[in-house]
């Protein structure tokens, strides 16, 4: 009987130990699983945070792209408007040039003057040899007639001011000319032409005279044809401040009528 009791007690002890061992293992498994769940949750939170950051970055990039696209569209529309305005201004200047050229067509065709564009300005160019004797600032009879005809045409150009500019070649002044140098000669010639334009009816408040001497040549001074081109009187139509300096390439200086290649005195 004692043996049976001890055997039962031993079996009960083994059963209790087994139950305790199972409970301990189950607790460890639960702790391990809880740790894995926490780790999984932390990983998910990290990934969620990364996704949120990526989403925010993508939204910011999209907003920046949309803003840039809107700014580009606005700039494009402004550029188109500006191009249209520039085109309209260019067409207006071309039309004014052609109109002035037609007014002077008879004098151009006869070789008495040119109508050209230089530095964005319309210029009426008269050979000095037709207007003046060599070294003189006194208009010839032909020169007086030309000035009268030029004044008659320019009086039709409203709301513009004009600069009468005298130019020479680079050959120094020599006796019997009363002038000390080319600057004096070119200035005196410009003043003479301005006075005759005023006498022919042009408004003196719209005229200014200037002498450039040899300092703004249109040709090389190394040949007589070049020097002859440089000896000239120019009547420059001064642009409004709103006008642009660019002009259409179809109406450069050489496109207008040119005087014949005949010898002309300075």
75/136: higher pLDDT: 136
Give the CATH number for residue 119. 3.30.1330.60
User: Would you say residue 45 lies in a domain?
Assistant: yes
User: How many CB atoms within 10 Å of residue 13?
Assistant: 10
Q: Are residues 81 and 138 in the same domain?
A: no
* Cβ neighbourhood burial of 29 (10 Å; 0-12, 13-18, 19+): exposed
Examine the fold and report which residue of 68, 96, 124 is the final residue of a domain before the chain moves on: 96
Taking only the tens place, the pLDDT of each residue in 4-18 is: 655 565 556 555 655
Cβ atoms 243, 199 nearer than 8 A:
no
Count of domains observed in the chain: 2
**Residue 179 pLDDT:** 96
User: Would you say residue 263 lies in a domain?
Assistant: no
pTM above 0.85, yes or no: no
Q: Are residues 73 and 113 in the same domain?
A: no
Q: Looking at 1-5, 86-90, 248-252, which range is the least confident one? A: 248-252
pLDDT band at 61 (very low <50, low <70, confident <90, very high): confident
pLDDT band at 239 (very low <50, low <70, confident <90, very high): confident
Taking only the tens place, the pLDDT of each residue in 18-40 is: 555 666 676 677 777 777 788 87
Q: Are residues 149 and 250 in the same domain?
A: yes
Cβ atoms 110, 254 nearer than 8 A:
no
User: Would you say residue 59 lies in a domain?
Assistant: yes
- In eight-state DSSP terms, residue 132 is B
Q: Are residues 156 and 193 in the same domain?
A: yes
Q: Quote the domain boundaries for residue 176.
A: 104-255
Q: Mean pLDDT over residues 77-100, rounded?
A: 74
Q: Are residues 134 and 82 in the same domain?
A: no
Which of 146-160, 167-181, 182-196 holds the top average pLDDT? 182-196
Q: Are residues 124 and 243 in the same domain?
A: yes
Q: Is the pLDDT of residue 129 over 50?
A: yes
Examine the fold and report which residue of 96, 118, 149 is the final residue of a domain before the chain moves on: 96
Q: Is the pLDDT of residue 86 over 70?
A: no
Alpha helices (H) along 104-155: 105-109, 128-131, 141-154
Q: Are residues 150 and 75 in the same domain?
A: no
Q: Mean pLDDT over residues 101-113, rounded?
A: 91
Examine the fold and report which residue of 37, 70, 96 is the final residue of a domain before the chain moves on: 96
All residues at 6 or more sequence positions from 172 whose CB lies less than 8 Å from its CB, including other chains: 181, 182
User: Would you say residue 266 lies in a domain?
Assistant: no
User: Would you say residue 90 lies in a domain?
Assistant: yes
**Residue 147 pLDDT:** 96
Q: Are residues 16 and 57 in the same domain?
A: yes
Alpha-carbon Rg for the chain, nearest whole angstrom, is 48
User: Would you say residue 5 lies in a domain?
Assistant: yes
Q: Are residues 6 and 54 in the same domain?
A: yes
User: Would you say residue 171 lies in a domain?
Assistant: yes
**Residue 265 pLDDT:** 45
Q: Is the pLDDT of residue 219 over 90?
A: yes
Q: Are residues 28 and 160 in the same domain?
A: no
Which residue's entry shows tokens 């550029």?
Answer: 79
Q: Are residues 148 and 126 in the same domain?
A: yes
Q: Are residues 154 and 109 in the same domain?
A: yes
**Residue 256 pLDDT:** 42
Q: Is the pLDDT of residue 183 over 60?
A: yes
Q: Of 254, 192, 183, which Cα lies nearest the Cα of 216?
A: 183
pLDDT band at 235 (very low <50, low <70, confident <90, very high): very high
pLDDT band at 92 (very low <50, low <70, confident <90, very high): confident
């Amino acid at each position: 009987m004692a043996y049976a009791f001890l055997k039962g007690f031993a079996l009960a002890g083994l059963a209790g130990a087994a139950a305790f061992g199972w409970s301990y293992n189950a607790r460890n498994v639960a702790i391990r699983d809880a740790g894995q769940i926490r780790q999984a949750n932390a990983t998910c939170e990290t990934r969620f945070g990364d996704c949120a950051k990526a989403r925010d970055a993508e939204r910011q990039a999209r907003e920046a792209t949309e803003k840039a696209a809107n700014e580009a569209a606005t700039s494009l529309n402004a550029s188109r408007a500006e191009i249209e305005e520039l085109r309209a201004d260019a067409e207006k200047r071309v039309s004014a040039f052609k109109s002035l050229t037609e007014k002077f067509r008879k004098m151009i065709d006869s070789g008495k003057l040119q109508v050209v564009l230089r530095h964005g300005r319309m210029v009426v160019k008269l050979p000095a040899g037709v207007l003046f004797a060599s070294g003189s600032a006194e208009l010839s009879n032909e020169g007086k007639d030309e000035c009268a005809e030029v004044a008659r045409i320019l009086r039709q150009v409203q709301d513009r001011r004009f600069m009468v500019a005298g130019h020479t070649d680079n050959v120094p002044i020599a006796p019997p000319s009363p002038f000390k140098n080319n600057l004096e000669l070119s200035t005196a010639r410009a003043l003479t032409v301005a006075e005759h334009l005023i006498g022919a009816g042009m408004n003196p408040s719209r005229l200014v005279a200037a002498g450039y001497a040899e300092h703004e040549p249109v040709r090389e001074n190394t040949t007589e044809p070049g020097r002859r081109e440089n000896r000239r009187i120019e009547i420059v139509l001064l642009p409004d401040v709103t006008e642009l300096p660019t002009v259409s390439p179809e109406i450069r200086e050489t496109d207008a009528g040119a005087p014949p290649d005949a010898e002309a005195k300075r």
